[in-house]
């Protein structure tokens, strides 16, 4: 038991547990652990209570309509998400409270009060409407981390159009696929965004994504870097500042059905084609509102900072919708953590006196490597709670975070969830839960999870298996955009009427949940999801490549790194230049996050007799391990020679 935090030796014992600090527990929003039992006995009543904390134009007449795998929550209810995130706060003391504190990478900043946000969102809704956006449309948003991004999302929500935010690190090709799949008529982008002192050429990518046949009719462009003034296309492109200059400052929020689509967000799956995950209005907002309030113990005077990019679901749920629905102050930062120096995050924490910080293990491991010197430069005594998300956090990183960022006073909430789940599903409740470093601890009240074996039996304490969710929850995905069949196949076909997460997990003797990582062909690189198939198709798209197989190998900083085994065509010579070319090819095709870390040339790839590539064996080779079972291989010599060639490289 670690009572206090003073000595690092105490923290380095193997059976570390961290009960809630007494001071924290006393003031926690959630001091009552009885909530778990009450939610178990009446999950629908529990969720209905939380939905009731939102403002509804019309109340629902049925909490849940469950026609597996299709769920409808708060059926018949009417609400608007932008109204809930803005208008309702204007009637309270929050009117002049900071809603968004934004800082750009070069050091510029802006503060938007709830009243400011209201005006900007209304203007943007009017502006979008004048470009032809109406209820039921999809709008693609390809922006850097600037205030116009949440403003555009809320404006879409106000109109009743669904947004599809595409992360600014994606390439023109990736953007094109997503535009075509969503059939957006309007795209919102910027000339560029700042990253590590350089400019990301967003407008150029946006232009390249709409060549040839495209549904895009209008492009709305935010002027951020001043680098694309010559790129504006007459008749198609409109500057954001020109369009907003004369828009009315009010806009009546559309009364949306609880089950109307709020947004879609593409994520990588086990095939090459990204999936458009569909989230709807009432259930999504209920889930993000409640989890933000309880998991982050949100109080009126908190300054809350989630360091994710809004291009990922973490930013949607925990920079924009969850915090704003709660009337919180949400900090937003445009750039990288090492610009101009490696203390940038801690400078931001000090400058705005952040009280809550939510970031990813890959960032924490990077800070660990950089050393304590950087956080030690700043006064971070304002912090009272820390969060982690995106991948398993190793206990060493957890303890380092607790000690060096949290000063040994701040509970660390390790939150497990997915793009598909919409909001946090497995997490400590700070003030209630005794923490174990590396464990996401327990399902949120109302969430029923289990760990199953191949046959669908619970594996019981200590055993590893597949993580599943056994009953529907309000913020669950409703389908894959335009592809109900793939939705069924992907998540609901392994077990009947049970949601399959794609993660492995175990539950220990004390009932704590430990996430073991993906069990499918998805790699988790620096808390981003990359599909092995997507990288493989980008590689074979290069004319010198005959065949490719990708795997994730463990990496100290990024969690996993991408390793590709490539068979080149007969007339092509293997060389270091070719390796560089292929890595760049993937970065250009999909985006820099998908650039392989290692490329190995292979005369042949290890396959089963039926022709299936055995990635498990490639993983053994890449991680320098003894080879697992090779009896199903068509030709065992193939993998032996790969091992001889690459096995000892690490």
The piece of 169-177, 249-257, 389-397, 455-463 that touches ligand WT7 (CB under 6 A) is 389-397
Closest residue by Cα to residue 120 from 93, 99, 141 = 99
Residue 533, phi then psi, degrees to nearest 5? -65, -40
**Interface mask (CB under 6 A) for ligand WT7, residues 522-561, using x and -?**
--x----x--------------------------------
Residue 547, judged by CB atoms within 10 A of its CB (0-12, 13-18, 19+), counts as middle
CA-CA distances (angstroms) from residue 344 to 168, 354, 412, 521? 21, 13, 21, 35
Residue 540 and residue 263: Cα distance in Å, rounded? 32
Compute the C-alpha angle 27/28/31, nearest 5°.
115
Closest approach of ligand WT7 to the CB of residue 413, in Å: 9
Compute the C-alpha angle 323/524/315, nearest 5°.
15
Closest approach of ligand WT7 to the CB of residue 375, in Å: 22
Question: Taking CB under 6 A as the rule, does residue 113 contact ligand WT7?
Answer: no
Question: Taking CB under 6 A as the rule, does residue 350 contact ligand WT7?
Answer: no
Question: Taking CB under 6 A as the rule, does residue 390 contact ligand WT7?
Answer: yes
First to last CA, the chain: 38
Compute the C-alpha angle 23/24/26, nearest 5°.
70
Among 164, 205, 291, 314, binds ligand WT7 (CB under 6 A): 314
Among 150, 392, 430, 474, binds ligand WT7 (CB under 6 A): 392
Q: Is the CB of 355 or the CB of 501 nearer to ligand WT7?
A: 501
Tokens linked to 532: 């092995």
Closest approach of ligand WT7 to the CB of residue 440, in Å: 5
The piece of 16-24, 62-70, 190-198, 416-424 that touches ligand WT7 (CB under 6 A) is 416-424
Among 28, 128, 389, 633, binds ligand WT7 (CB under 6 A): 389
Q: Contact at 8 Å (CB) between 182 and 276?
A: yes
Closest approach of ligand WT7 to the CB of residue 225, in Å: 28
Torsion sign, CA atoms 337, 341, 346, 348: negative
Q: Is the CB of 337 or the CB of 438 nearer to ligand WT7?
A: 438
Q: How many CA atoms lie within 13 A of 341 on its CB side?
A: 10
Among 142, 346, 417, 444, binds ligand WT7 (CB under 6 A): 417
Tokens linked to 116: 């400011």
Residue 513 and residue 442: Cα distance in Å, rounded? 6
Q: How many CA atoms lie within 13 A of 251 on its CB side?
A: 31
What 3-state DSSP class applies to 358? strand
Question: Taking CB under 6 A as the rule, does residue 267 contact ligand WT7?
Answer: yes
Q: Contact at 8 Å (CB) between 623 and 650?
A: yes
Range list of β-strands (E), 41-197: 62-67, 70-75, 78-79, 98-103, 109-113, 138-142, 162-165, 186-190, 193-195
Q: Is the CB of 282 or the CB of 311 nearer to ligand WT7?
A: 311
Closest approach of ligand WT7 to the CB of residue 414, in Å: 5
The piece of 125-133, 197-205, 410-418, 545-553 that touches ligand WT7 (CB under 6 A) is 410-418
The piece of 144-152, 185-193, 248-256, 417-425 that touches ligand WT7 (CB under 6 A) is 417-425
Question: Taking CB under 6 A as the rule, does residue 439 contact ligand WT7?
Answer: no
Among 414, 521, 536, 620, binds ligand WT7 (CB under 6 A): 414
Q: Contact at 8 Å (CB) between 431 and 30?
A: yes
Closest approach of ligand WT7 to the CB of residue 164, in Å: 15
With CB atoms as reference, the residue minimizing the distance to ligand WT7 is: 419
Question: Taking CB under 6 A as the rule, does residue 309 contact ligand WT7?
Answer: no
Q: What residues between 493 and 522 interact with ligand WT7 by CB under 6 A?
A: 501-503, 515, 517-518
Number of shown-chain residues binding ligand WT7 (CB under 6 A)? 22
Question: Taking CB under 6 A as the rule, does residue 419 contact ligand WT7?
Answer: yes
Closest approach of ligand WT7 to the CB of residue 192, in Å: 25
Contacting positions for ligand WT7 (CB under 6 A): 267, 313-314, 389-392, 414-419, 440, 501-503, 515, 517-518, 524, 529
């Amino acid at each position: 038991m670690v009572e206090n935090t003073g000595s690092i030796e105490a923290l380095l014992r193997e059976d570390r547990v961290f009960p809630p600090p007494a001071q924290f527990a006393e003031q926690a929003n959630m001091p009552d652990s009885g909530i778990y039992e009450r939610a178990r006995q009446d999950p629908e009543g529990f969720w209905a209570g939380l939905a009731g904390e939102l403002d509804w134009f019309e109340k629902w007449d049925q909490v849940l309509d469950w026609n597996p795998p299709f769920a409808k929550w708060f059926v018949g209810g009417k609400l608007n998400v932008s109204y809930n995130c803005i208008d309702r706060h204007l009637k309270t003391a929050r009117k002049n409270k900071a809603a968004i504190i934004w800082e750009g990478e070069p050091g510029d900043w802006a503060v938007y009060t709830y009243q400011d946000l209201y005006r900007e969102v209304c203007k943007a809704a009017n502006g979008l409407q004048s470009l032809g956006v109406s209820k039921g449309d999809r709008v693609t948003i390809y922006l850097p981390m600037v205030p116009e991004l949440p403003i555009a999302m809320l404006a879409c929500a106000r109109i009743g159009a669904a947004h599809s935010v595409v992360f600014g690190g994606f390439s023109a090709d990736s953007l094109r696929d997503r535009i075509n799949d969503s059939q957006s008529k309007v795209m919102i982008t910027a000339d560029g965004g700042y990253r590590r002192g350089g400019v990301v050429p967003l407008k150029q990518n946006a232009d390249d994504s709409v060549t040839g046949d495209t549904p895009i009719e209008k492009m709305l462009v935010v002027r951020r870097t001043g680098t694309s003034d010559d790129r504006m296309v007459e008749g198609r492109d409109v500057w954001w500042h020109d369009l907003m200059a004369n828009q009315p400052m009010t806009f009546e929020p559309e009364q949306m059905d609880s089950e109307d689509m709020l947004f879609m967000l593409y994520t990588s799956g086990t095939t090459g084609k990204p999936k458009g995950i569909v989230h709807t209005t009432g259930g999504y907002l209920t889930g993000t509102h409640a989890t933000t309030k309880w998991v982050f113990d949100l109080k009126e005077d908190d300054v809350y900072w989630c360091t994710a990019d809004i291009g990922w679901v973490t930013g949607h749920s925990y920079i924009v919708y969850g915090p704003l629905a709660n009337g919180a102050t949400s900090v937003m930062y445009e750039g990288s953590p090492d610009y101009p120096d490696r203390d940038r995050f801690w400078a931001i924490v000090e400058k705005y006196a952040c009280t809550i910080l939510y970031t990813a293990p890959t960032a924490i491991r990077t800070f660990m490597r950089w050393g304590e010197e950087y956080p030690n430069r700043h006064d971070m005594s304002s912090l009272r709670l820390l969060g982690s998300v995106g991948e398993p956090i190793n206990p060493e990183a957890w303890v380092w975070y607790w000690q060096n960022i949290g000063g040994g006073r701040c509970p660390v909430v390790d939150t497990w969830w997915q793009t598909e789940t919409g909001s946090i599903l497995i997490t400590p409740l700070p003030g209630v839960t005794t923490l174990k470093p590396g464990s996401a601890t327990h399902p949120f009240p109302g969430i029923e999870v289990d760990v199953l074996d191949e046959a669908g039996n619970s594996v019981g304490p200590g055993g590893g298996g597949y993580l599943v969710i056994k009953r529907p929850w309000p913020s669950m995905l409703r389908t894959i955009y335009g592809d109900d069949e793939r939705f069924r196949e992907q998540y609901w076909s392994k077990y009947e009427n049970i949601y399959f997460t794609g993660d492995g997990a175990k539950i220990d003797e004390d009932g704590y949940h430990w996430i073991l990582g993906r069990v499918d062909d998805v790699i988790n690189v620096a808390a981003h999801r990359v599909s092995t198939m997507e990288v493989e198709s980008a590689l074979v798209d290069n004319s010198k490549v005959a065949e490719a197989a990708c795997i994730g190998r463990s990496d100290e900083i990024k969690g996993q790194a991408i390793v590709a085994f490539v068979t080149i065509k007969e007339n092509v010579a293997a060389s270091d230049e070719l390796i560089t070319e292929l890595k760049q090819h993937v970065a250009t095709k999909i985006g820099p996050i998908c650039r392989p870390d290692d490329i190995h040339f292979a005369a042949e790839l290890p396959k089963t007799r039926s022709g299936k590539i055995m990635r498990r064996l490639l993983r053994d080779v890449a991680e320098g391990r003894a080879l697992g079972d090779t009896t199903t291989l068509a030709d065992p010599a193939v993998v032996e020679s790969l091992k001889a060639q690459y096995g000892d490289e690490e």
